[in-house]
Amino acid sequence: MTRHPFPLADQVPPALQAYILDFHWDVALLHALDLPTIQIPLSELAPHLDLPFWAYGGRPFQVTPRQVAADPVRYGEQYARAMGADLRYPLDVVRRMDARVTILDGVHRLLRAELEGWTTLGVRVLAWDALDRIAVRD
């Protein structure tokens, strides 16, 4: 069985191509993994706040978390999700081969933490060579 390709691959903007995985993965499989939680500086994750992860107007990849923070009325749905995010739960990330971190689950929590002035966050780190454990298979 092969990995199922990322369903919106043809819509990923250039700014996200270095972050979005090229295959479809399952958040339930990710959450089920027994991964250790470590603390990392929010500054290491902050570049994610400038990437257009979120949909707007029914179109994916239209708005960045920082745009949502700057205009919470216009982007009310995403802002409400961020402010409702439970910071008791760590973010899930993958550490890439070049040592960069990519958030797999938790961008809304990251935005809330940034807005509340947190300096470190708990993260569960999935190794790059363990990505098959969360892959959706054809």
Q: What is the pTM of this model?
A: 0.91
Q: Residue 10's beta-bridge partner residues?
A: none
Q: How far is it, in rounded angstroms, from Cα 122 to Cα 124?
A: 7
**Average pLDDT rounded to a whole number, residues 37-59:** 95
Domain membership flag for residue 126 = yes
Domain membership flag for residue 26 = yes
pLDDT tens readout for residues 74-122: 999 999 999 999 999 999 999 888 888 899 999 999 999 999 999 999 9
Give the Å distances, CA to CA, from 18 to 14, 77, 130: 8, 26, 18
Number of domains in the chain: 1
**Average pLDDT rounded to a whole number, residues 126-132:** 91
CATH code (residue 112): 3.90.1530
| Residue that wins the pLDDT comparison between 19 and 80 | 80
* pLDDT surpassing 90 at residue 124: yes
Q: Residue 110 is part of which domain span? A: 9-48+88-133
* pLDDT surpassing 90 at residue 123: yes
Domain membership flag for residue 4 = no
| Residue that wins the pLDDT comparison between 60 and 2 | 60
- Which amino acid is located at 37 in the chain? T
75: Cβ contacts below 8 Å, ≥ 6 apart: 54, 56, 63, 67, 68
Domain membership flag for residue 18 = yes
- Percent of the chain at pLDDT exceeding 90: 70
| Residue that wins the pLDDT comparison between 38 and 25 | 38
Q: What's the residue count for the chain?
A: 138
DSSP for 73-118?
TTTHHHHHHHHH--TTSPEEEEE-TTS-EEEEE-HHHHHHHHHTT-
Structure tokens at 1: 């069985």
In which residue are the tokens 């290491």 written? 44
| Residue that wins the pLDDT comparison between 42 and 7 | 42
Domain membership flag for residue 39 = yes
Domain membership flag for residue 67 = no
Where does the pLDDT of residue 138 fall: very low under 50, low under 70, confident under 90, or very high at 90 and above? low
Q: What is the mean pLDDT of the chain?
A: 91
